[in-house]
Amino acid sequence: MATKKSAPGQLGRQVALPSSPEAAVLERVPNPHPDTVYVARFTAPEFTSLCPVTDQPDFAHLVIDYVPDGWLVESKSLKLYLAAFRNHGAFHEDCTVSIGKRIAALVEPRFLRIGGYWYPRGGIPIDVFWQTGTLPDGAWLPDTGVAPYRGRG
């Protein structure tokens, strides 16, 4: 598993899709405003993984919010990392929490939260939430904008 690189090696180059999340190179870049408290948000409305038991596809809308300190997540590497889950078998909880922990280990943010809003399969939606750190005073953290699943009733 690739970890803390300070200069992005994938940006501006054609890069093959990683074979697995573990093989994906997640990169970081210096935060140009480390003295400022702000929230950065990544939204992945078409996240896909596989059920580890049935190999059926699972779909989620991920929302990742973090308050950076010295580092930012490089967005192309994040896109490739998330796409690497497409053929990866793991439960919803494992995917969501693993993504949050890997990003947190890479950029060491002041605060990070991830919401995994998983689409129902078998009639049950599973939403998974994980966070690390405490939201700093003065940070504006908007609602995720993802409505809870309501079905047709």
Q: Please list the active-site residues.
A: 51, 58
* Residue carrying the six token digits 């702000």: 38
What CA–CA distances, in Å, run from 99 to 35, 105, 113, 123? 26, 10, 10, 25
**DSSP secondary structure, 87-130, as one string:** G-B--HHHHHHHHHHHHHHHH--SEEEEEEEEPPBTTB--EEEE
Q: For residues 114 and 132, what is the distance between their CA atoms, to the nearest angstrom?
A: 9
Secondary structure of residue 26 in the 3-state scheme: coil
